[in-house]
Structure 1
Amino acid sequence: MAIAVMTITLSGCVRVNNDGTPKEGFVYNYLALPAEHILDFIAKFVGGYGWALIVLTVIVRMILLPVMINQMTKSTKMQEKMNLIRPQMKNIQKRQQSAKTQEEKMQIQQEMMALYRDNDVNMMGGIGCLPLLIQTPVFIALYNAIRFSPEVSHTVFMGIRLGDKNFVLVILSVITYLLQGYLMTLGVPEEQKKQMKFMILLNPIVILIATLQSPAGLGIYFFIGGIFICIQTLIINMYRPKIRREVIEQAKKNPTKVVTEVKEEIKETPKEINKTDINQNRKRNSGKQNKK
């Protein structure tokens, strides 16, 4: 949800004149104006700017749907793989907690990394930047199109003025992302649910901050987008049993690799070796002198 923060930050890229009108610039000329023209075009066919925003949101989300499902599928596979190696992870984590020296902690950390590497587990699996790259200019364009277009900002849609902030859309957007977080936990082990709590709460909090600072028109985008994300999560949940079976079948062909404790070899430093040689030579010399 870093994209929501980026939207609010980058929305200040458009400079304004003393009378509040936008100055010519890259963001306004190549993002805000085209977005305004697209909304004008869609509004002619759907009966208003409110419906035009909904249609545009659906179009963007339909474009992103295959990419998002692909990434969520990869993420689900990584979760199932981690379930297979969880007993070893617990053992390593327990030893890490009882480690007393920094060297021991580093050694055990290397074991954890080897466990991930040998079993093809990627902690960042399923997390990609393509949806972020696609949506960032869309967010910025819509924010500024609504902000600087009198026709869009003054339109009233279902009792909501698109250019004003609206608390109802804030609540609806947060609810959709809370629902999406709940759907993500379905079919997930209890222990893994605890680890997911942070991300489940982070998304609604970021959406809350973003929609509180955005006009209602952008709030519609967040709300409809949240509904789409819920649909994507439901699709993945339908295929989760199949994904789990595939991971188990693959694990049978390539059994989970057990990482043994890494023992460091104690090596003498050059200084220590030199000291040992010197002491031995001194003893030999003193023995020869006593014989004489």
Structure 2
Amino acid sequence: MDIKRVILATILSALVLLGFDYFMPENKTPAAIQGKPGAQQTVSSVTPPQAALSPLAGSSAESDDSSSPSRLPIDAVDVSGSVNLRGARLDDLVLRDYHETVKQDSPLVRVLEERGGKEPNYIEFGWSGSPGQNIRLPDAHSLWKTSAPKLTSGTPVTLDWDNGAGLTFELELSVDRDYMFAVTQRVRNATGREVSLVPYSRVVRGYTPVETGGMLVHEGPISVIGGRLAEESYKSLREGSTAPNYVSWTKSARGGWAGITDKYWLAAVIPDQAADVTGTYGFDTPDGAYQVGFAREKPLLIAPDGTGETVDHVFAGAKEVRLLERYQHELNIPDFWKAVDFGWFAFLTRPVFFVLDWLYQQLGSFALALLAFTLIVKALFFPLASKGFRAAAAMREVAPKIQAIRERYKDNPVEMNQKVMALYREEGVSPASGCLPLLIQAPVFWCLYKDLYVTIEMRHAPFVGWIHDLSAPDPTNILNLFGLIPFDPTHISTVLWLGAWPIIYGLTIWLMQRSNPAATDPVQKQVFMMMPVIFTMFMARQPVGLVIYYCWNNLLTIGQQALIKRAHANGKKKPKTTILPPLKGKG
């Protein structure tokens, strides 16, 4: 195997894949978003699109906190928090199994926070009246009563509020062992006349977060409505939402889901999958709040002494891949797995993740799964590696002839190229044959990079020694001799950060180069001399799991190359069998 071709193939494939993902973003947005900012689809006149995105009443007047008696505690298996009975908002939720940092005494991850908090992020439910009706409806100030003192994974709770004019509104809440809430909105009509109401649910975020995913991960409003994935940026919502409705985009369809996603966490509302609904994105400019939600496309008609209800779900938690897949099948949520941004190459990145996850289940460690995965990849691509080595060896044998042609026809480039191509055909070689087998492996490297970056299963997954999070860069730093000097280098530009594993990776690149003949071309020689340094700097701030993978991969490549060289040398040493012509008989 020609190591120079390995390195060149890796560089080219990485540039192609990164460039494709950056310059050709996936068209994930329905046609309604692609028009003029603020353009909306036409919806039924009885259900204005702002039903799920009405201005936030009383946003500045509240000062509720988790210790207030107007709260219903949540004590479930994987989540804890409370429901604000003032407005019936789900606005206080932490995840029991996830900490903010690798330290076990660090705070638990908070996915929902009250309106007056540092990072407001909550879920609201409500009703809007049809035009011409004068009905008192619950709002942000309404104080709801509760049927039980606590909401647990095995104990549903019903909240109720009476408007004093014959209508009783109810919210029946239940939560499973993970992150899914079932919400039944119900209205009992004792007014003596028919009532027409539109139920809605929405996710509200009252701040603009720092997006950490860059070009690799979408963070912000997300939905699957009408079978199409729609991802929008916070900026597009701010620029596209105008008064009085503050609606940026709407789409009507049957079922779906919508919410606001972070790199690892998701808050989403999921309507009845059999109901016709209108999904809406917007930005409430006066309140500074992003809103993503659903409203029924047609109002519920509640007869006198009758009851109307709708059953929705709310997901608020970690984007665990297998959990999302399970909810997708159990609740018939369309493409719920797309909450994890597997990107353009999801048809590859997802299978690679499931292989890694299966290896983790068998070995009990994602680090060991990573090493085992590398061995599997090497074994699968060994025939390609052997083919690439033979092709490179053949090219080296004809290199003197090619150089002679270039010297002879240096003043006639056209004839020179013709002679070189004729030589390729005569010798049965191709300059690309050594690189193409290696380029085929590039998607595997990209898939691993993407999976390490976007899946929560890799978050805080430890390795040996000082590595406690495979998805984060190496925490050590050469500037303080990897912790031996009492000096904190974190205030220095990250460009100068070099951890131990990136340096080890650079050494493996150097070893790979040493195992091959040195380049004869002066320019090429200088380029390959700088490659270990360039690659070390490039990998310094990448997920350390990826760096470890490449270190292990490079060492295996060196061993694989030695085996192929030995087999190739043994094959060349075998004497050719001479077949003698048969002796002629005397007769």
Range class of TM-score, shorter chain: 0.5 to 0.7
Asked whether 1:68 is paired with 2:400, we answer: no
**SS at structure 2 position matched to 1:157:** coil
Letter in 2 for 1:215: P
Residue 140 of structure 1 is matched in structure 2 by 446
Residue 30 (structure 1) shift: 4.3
| Structure 1: runs of 5 or more not aligned | 250-292
Distance change >3 Å, CA 20–CA 32, structure 1 → 2: farther
TM-score (norm 2): 0.35
Q: CA RMSD in A?
A: 3.6
CA contact (8 A) 1:5 1:210 kept: no
* Residues 103-144 of structure 1 deviation map (CA, whole Å, 9 limit, x = unaligned): x4544454444444444443334222x4433441x3333223
Residue 146 (structure 1) shift: 2.2
Distance in 1 (alpha carbons) for counterparts of 2:380 and 2:473: 28
Deviates more, 1:213-222 or 1:231-240: 231-240
Residue 123 of structure 1 is matched in structure 2 by 431
Residue 82 of structure 1 is matched in structure 2 by 399
Distance in 2 (alpha carbons) for counterparts of 1:53 and 1:71: 25
Distance in 1 (alpha carbons) for counterparts of 2:550 and 2:365: 19
Letter in 2 for 1:164: A
| Structure 2: runs of 5 or more not aligned | 1-9, 23-214, 221-259, 265-337, 475-498, 577-587
Residue 278 of structure 1 is matched in structure 2 by none
Distance in 1 (alpha carbons) for counterparts of 2:514 and 2:217: 37
The structure whose RCO (Cα within 8 Å, separation 6+) is larger is 1
Residue 365 of structure 2 is matched in structure 1 by 48
Distance in 2 (alpha carbons) for counterparts of 1:148 and 1:120: 45
Residue 154 (structure 1) shift: 0.8
TM-score (norm 1): 0.64
Residue 234 (structure 1) shift: 1.3
Deviates more, 1:47-56 or 1:18-27: 18-27
CA contact (8 A) 1:49 1:152 kept: yes
Letter in 2 for 1:65: F
Residue 211 (structure 1) shift: 2.0
* Residues 33-68 of structure 1 deviation map (CA, whole Å, 9 limit, x = unaligned): 544443332223323111111111111111111211
Distance in 2 (alpha carbons) for counterparts of 1:221 and 1:154: 17
Count, aligned residues: 233
More helix by percentage: 1
Residue 76 (structure 1) shift: 0.8
- Map 1:135-284 to 2 at 5 A: 135-136=442-443, 138-158=444-464, 159-160=466-467, 161-166=469-474, 167-185=499-517, 192=520, 197=525, 200-201=528-529, 204=532, 207-208=535-536, 210-242=538-570
Residue 201 (structure 1) shift: 4.2
Asked whether 1:16 is paired with 2:219, we answer: yes
More strand by percentage: 2
Letter in 2 for 1:38: V
Residue 230 (structure 1) shift: 0.8
Distance in 2 (alpha carbons) for counterparts of 1:3 and 1:38: 22
Distance change >3 Å, CA 6–CA 210, structure 1 → 2: farther
